[in-house]
Amino acid sequence: MNGAQALIRTLVDCEVDVCFMNPGTSEMHFVAALDRVPEMRGVLATFEGVATGAADGYARMAGKPASVLLHLGPGLGNGLANLHNARKGNVPVVNIVGDHATYHKRYDAQLESDIETVARNVSPWLRWSKTPGDVGADAADAVVAAMGPPGQVATLILPADVSWLDGGEVAAPKPAAGRQPVGTDHVEAIAGVLRSGEPAALLIGGSVTREAGLVAASRVANATGAKLLCETFPARLERGAGLPNVDRLAYLAEFAMMQLDGVKHLIVVDTKPPVSFFAYPGKPSVLVPEGCEVHTLAGLTDDAVGALAALAEAVGAPADGATRQDASRAERPTGDLTADKVAQALGALLPDGAIISDEANTSGIYLPAATAGCPPHDTLNLTGGAIGQGMPVATGAAVACPDRRVVSLEADGSALYTFQSLWTQAREGLDVTTVIFNNASYAVLNMELSRVGAEAGGPKAKEMLDLADPTTDFVKLASGFGIPAWRATTGEEFCGSFERALAEPGPSLVEAIIPGIV
């Protein structure tokens, strides 16, 4: 058994049985070994950013990591932005980077570069496999490291000769570290803060944004009068009819400060105290109001859901004390299309059990309200702020959940980053319906240009934020991969197209032509 076979067998034994890949020559023995370990599903991406983002989306929905196979330093570079997003979302990824054979590195061949320095940007856990006898144990360690808590990107650098040489040894899975229980005294202390009567807010994130955590948080909020907020970009947020609905902290610092205005105690649960995404001249970086005390109920490695449930008991919240969202559906929109009307249409038509990958950016601000009463669904969000995440994440989520419809909401600017996701969606026949919000603009940057206090943008500046000339025709791009696609300019057209798209097996796309918001 060679190293590659031992590696893949170990991964499968550790329940890591999907590998999103864009291999090169140094990974050919890994590729060849796929036929020896049929339980490993190889999913080809035609660009590395698709592979890494798909692994992120897969793990968010599967609750376990996928593996990724990348080609040397440049391949890792191409995949880095979406590994950054996974890192910021504490999402587990087993990131395998192929390297030259150990003895070949010294010759500084054309594709030689310092892989480790790049990997350090995203990967707290990093190991270079040294021999075929090591690689199985290295893989088992990588899986445990990736699982955390918190989840992380674990990078295993795999030299070509470690793959091809005999002497591979399969390693047994290792036990994952559990989350640490939060002590009763600490829960009681937080309960005391909430009982003080001073204005308080709960800020939840991470593991708390699914039903059990949301119910416990809602019980606490209702019993104490604390405001309930969720981090801005939760990796995975369960919502819809029957689930507690939670407002997300606004992306714009000004709005976030309004949400937190007057709060004297901020109870943080499995997330970080809020900071502004960017610095703006004369505006604060930290969004915690002056005089507000921050209390961490549970950190990123703690049993945050258990702690919230205990807190609910400690504050005397009744078992059925959570507020659950009523079912409701928006009306189907009519007339000229806007971002608001697309949100309304999604509210009217979102299928039961949908997984929304949300990278609609500025065009998405109407979505939470419009879809709150839809049947239960998940939203996967832009955890690390690096655009080009949405379509890959949608791809991976569809691999993880073949029985659910993925709705991939994309701003035009972001869509142009990793549009190659559609190729993989077509190859794998994934049930992903992409909605492009095409306003022919980097609308967020037009907004940011004034927010950062830059002088009024002249024509050259404006041109750098404008995506017209050429305006991209996403229907043609989708057709280039054989994917059925429609363009909509009215509410009626959008609804009809979206219904047709949902009825298609495999991928489909609807391009919504909307006005720029600026």
Q: Which of residues 94-133 bind a second copy (CB under 8 A)?
A: 100-101, 103-104, 107-111, 113-115, 117-118, 120-122
Q: What CA–CA distance (Å, rounded) separates 346 from 332? A: 9
Can residue 476 be called a binding residue for a second copy (CB under 8 A)?
yes
Contact positions with a second copy (CB under 8 A) in 233-252: 233
Cβ proximity to a second copy: between 344 and 383 the closer is 383
Q: Of 271 and 497, which has the nearer Cβ to a second copy? A: 271
Count CB-CB contacts under 10 A for residue 458.
Answer: 8
Exactly one of 9, 60, 64, 84 binds a second copy (CB under 8 A); which one? 84
**Binds a second copy (CB under 8 A): choice among 1, 17, 34, 195:** 34
34 or 193, CB closer to a second copy?
A: 34
Supply φ then ψ for residue 482, to 5 degrees. 75, 20
Residues 166-225 within binding reach of a second copy (CB under 8 A): none
Q: Smaller CB distance to a second copy: residue 43 or 187?
A: 43
Q: Which of 91, 122, 94 is nearest to 18 (CA)?
A: 94
Give residue 311's identity as a one-letter amino acid code. Answer: L
Question: Residue 235 CB, nearest distance to a second copy (Å)?
Answer: 12
CB of 364 to a second copy, least distance (A): 16
Residues 6+ apart with CB under 8 A from 490: 334, 335, 336, 337
Stretch that binds a second copy, among 128-136, 140-148, 273-281, 320-328 (CB under 8 A): 273-281
Out of 1, 17, 32, 500, name the contact with a second copy by CB under 8 A: 32
User: Of the two residues 52 and 344, which places its CB atom closer to a second copy in the complex?
Assistant: 52
Q: For a second copy, which is the closer residue by CB, 176 or 275?
A: 275
**Which residue bears the tokens 């170990």?**
10
Q: How far is the CB of 358 from a second copy (least distance, A)?
A: 15
The least distance separating a second copy from the CB of residue 196, rounded to whole angstroms, comes to 28
Query: By CB under 8 A, is residue 467 in contact with a second copy?
Result: yes
Cα(452)–Cα(455) distance, integer angstroms: 9
Quick one: which H or E segment has residue 46? none
Q: Residue 428 corresponds to which tokens in the numbers above?
A: 């794998």
Task: Check binding of 477 to a second copy (CB under 8 A).
Answer: yes
| Shorter beta-carbon distance to a second copy: residue 113 or 323 | 113
DSSP states along 218-253: HHHHHHH--EEEE-SS-SEEEESTTS---EEPPSSH
Q: Which strands sit side by side in the sheet containing 508-513, from one edge to the other?
A: 236-239, 377-380, 355-359, 406-411, 432-438, 508-513, 485-488
Pairing, β 236-239 against β 485-488: unpaired
Residue with Cβ nearer a second copy (480 or 515): 480
- Nearer CB in complex with a second copy: 125/371: 125
Q: Does 294 bind a second copy (CB under 8 A)?
A: no
Burial class of residue 199, CB neighbours in 10 A (0-12, 13-18, 19+)? middle
Among 1, 17, 77, 368, binds a second copy (CB under 8 A): 77
Among 1, 426, 517, 518, binds a second copy (CB under 8 A): 426
Site for a second copy in 371-390 (CB under 8 A): 383-386, 388
**Out of 6, 10, 12, 23, the residue judged to bind a second copy by CB under 8 A:** 23
Minimum CB distance to a second copy smaller for 8 or for 298: 8
- 276, exposed or middle or buried, with CB in 10 Å at 0-12, 13-18, 19+? middle
Q: What are 328's two structure tokens?
A: 């409701």
DSSP secondary structure string, 59-120?
HHHHSSPPEEEEEHHHHHHHHHHHHHHHHHTT--EEEEEEE--GGGGGG--TT---HHHHHT
Footprint of a second copy on 137-166 (CB under 8 A): 160-161, 164
